[in-house]
């Protein structure tokens, strides 16, 4: 890969940092992707698409993992013109509601937002700063997961707690916005603008899981709220629970706020219910002989089915249901169980199409189009980085 202009995207997660390079053309072309996985584990690996995984020295923190990713990215970029670096930032708070160029004022604002997302923001800010040091003359662009949901109706944003907290930024934000941006764009590309303006429920189901309701191309509601721990049960996150549990466990087991937060984010969900695994594949393989695994799978599907029903009520019906994410796009059994019993909403799954992983798993005569659609957050980041560096995208009005 020589001579072409390229865009680098960086996506820092809790245990991995992903990167991808795109040729800066229309449409964008992904030329390489990879990741450092297993950060903090005994066996971290560097993966580059098309090559065997490489074991690396124990990487206990994101700083050293980020340096490994940037060294590999710099090696891949050699001979090319790097024109931008795009970053996924999970939380933009109430200020950052569209992609924008990164500068000192934004970095200072993101540091102030760290109490909103202490798990992701410090890691992401550190990765941005490392990329700025590595590529000091290259524009850096931030893309915010929360931005997709910022136009939700006020009723969907407000938390039913004392109203003054809303003015302090304690509202429902929603997450997985880059994924939902991609999926909505794909609906328009595949089915046309009218379909993209219809009543759509999107289910991004992976180790982190959420659903979003969209109408007329705009977000109406979403399952996650103030933090990514809310909504449906996930790999290790609890989803919605009674807030009185925190006080109860503090009284009976002297659990601190920090310990409760750790439990809710890292010891709950599929892992907590099964007591064995947060991996849906393992739980499905074990459910026939382990009732705990069966309970975990059942709870996951039950909560998603409930949320689809709630969004149908909000939207006044559903025209399209989209399954995405690692579980949603790759696990026919989960799609079938979630949709079972939703025929009264017009949601029906064709068993053969579903088992084959077809792009559309509903029957031809189905009232609701049920799609299976892999997501691509990195291409959304790359598009925003290309547009901003070309001066195409509307500049942000945020004033951090």
Confidence grade of residue 394 (pLDDT, cut at 50, 70, 90): very low
Q: What is the pLDDT of residues 132-178, one digit of tens each?
A: 999 999 999 999 999 999 999 999 999 999 999 999 999 999 999 99
Strand pairing class (5-12; 100-101) = unpaired
C-alpha to C-alpha distance for 110 and 121, rounded to whole angstroms: 7
pTM over 0.75: yes
Q: Is there a contact between 333 and 345 (Cβ–Cβ < 8 Å)?
A: no
Name which of 211-225, 226-240, 380-394 the model is least confident about.
380-394
C-alpha to C-alpha distance for 132 and 264, rounded to whole angstroms: 34
C-alpha to C-alpha distance for 94 and 64, rounded to whole angstroms: 31
Confidence grade of residue 300 (pLDDT, cut at 50, 70, 90): very high
Mean pLDDT, all residues of the chain: 91
pLDDT on residue 312: 98
pLDDT on residue 397: 34
- DSSP-derived letter for residue 316 is T
Name which of 88-92, 267-271, 391-395 the model is least confident about.
391-395
**Active site positions, annotated:** 145
C-alpha to C-alpha distance for 268 and 226, rounded to whole angstroms: 18
Average pLDDT over residues 345-358: 97
Q: What is the pLDDT of residues 242-296, one digit of tens each?
A: 999 999 999 999 999 999 999 999 999 999 999 999 999 999 999 999 999 999 9
pLDDT on residue 392: 35
C-alpha to C-alpha distance for 32 and 34, rounded to whole angstroms: 7
In 3D, which of 24, 371, 398 has the Cα closest to residue 182? 371
pLDDT on residue 40: 66
Query: What SS3 class is residue 286?
Result: helix
Domains plus CATH for the chain?
A: 5-144 (3.30.420.40), 192-372 (3.30.420.40)
Average pLDDT over residues 39-49: 75
Taking 80 as the threshold, does the pLDDT of residue 382 lie above it? Answer: yes
pLDDT on residue 60: 54
Q: Is there a contact between 187 and 304 (Cβ–Cβ < 8 Å)?
A: no
């Amino acid at each position: 890969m020589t001579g072409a202009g390229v865009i680098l995207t960086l996506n820092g997660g809790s245990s991995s940092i992903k990167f991808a390079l795109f040729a800066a053309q229309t449409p964008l072309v992904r030329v390489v992707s990879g990741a450092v996985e297993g950060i903090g584990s005994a066996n971290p690996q560097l993966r580059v698409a098309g090559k065997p995984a490489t074991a690396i020295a124990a990487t206990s923190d994101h700083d050293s993992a980020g340096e490994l990713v940037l060294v590999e990215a710099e090696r891949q970029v050699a001979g090319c013109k790097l024109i931008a670096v795009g970053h996924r930032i999970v939380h933009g708070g109430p200020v950052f509601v569209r992609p924008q160029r990164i500068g000192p004022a934004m970095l200072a604002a993101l540091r102030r937002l760290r109490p909103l997302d202490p798990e992701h923001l410090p890691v992401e800010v550190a990765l941005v700063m490392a990329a700025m040091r590595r590529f000091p003359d290259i524009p850096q662009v931030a893309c915010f997961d929360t931005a997709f949901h910022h136009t939700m109706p006020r009723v969907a944003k407000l938390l039913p707690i004392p109203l003054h907290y809303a003015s302090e930024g304690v509202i429902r934000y929603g997450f997985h916005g880059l994924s939902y941006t991609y999926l909505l764009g794909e609906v328009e590309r595949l089915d046309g603008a009218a379909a993209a303006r219809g009543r759509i429920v999107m289910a991004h189901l992976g180790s982190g899981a959420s659903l979003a309701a969209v109408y007329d191309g705009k977000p109406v509601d979403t399952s996650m709220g103030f933090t990514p721990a809310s909504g449906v049960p996930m790999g290790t996150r609890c989803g919605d629970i009674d807030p009185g549990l925190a006080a109860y466990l503090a009284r009976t087991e002297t659990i601190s706020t920090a310990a409760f937060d750790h439990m809710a984010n890292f010891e709950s969900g599929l892992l907590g219910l099964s007591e064995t695994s947060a991996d849906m594949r393992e739980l499905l393989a074990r459910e026939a002989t382990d009732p705990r695994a069966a309970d975990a799978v059942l709870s996951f599907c039950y909560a998603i089915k409930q949320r689809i029903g709630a969004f149908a009520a909000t939207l006044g019906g559903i025209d399209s249901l989209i399954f995405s994410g690692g579980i949603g796009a790759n696990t026919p059994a989960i799609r079938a169980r979630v949709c079972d019993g939703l025929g009264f909403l017009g949601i029906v799954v064709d068993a053969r199409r579903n088992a084959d992983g077809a792009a559309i798993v509903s029957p031809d005569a189905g009232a609701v189009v049920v799609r299976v659609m892999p997501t691509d957050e990195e291409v959304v980041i790359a598009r925003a980085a290309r547009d901003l560096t070309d001066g195409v995208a509307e500049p942000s009005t945020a004033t951090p």
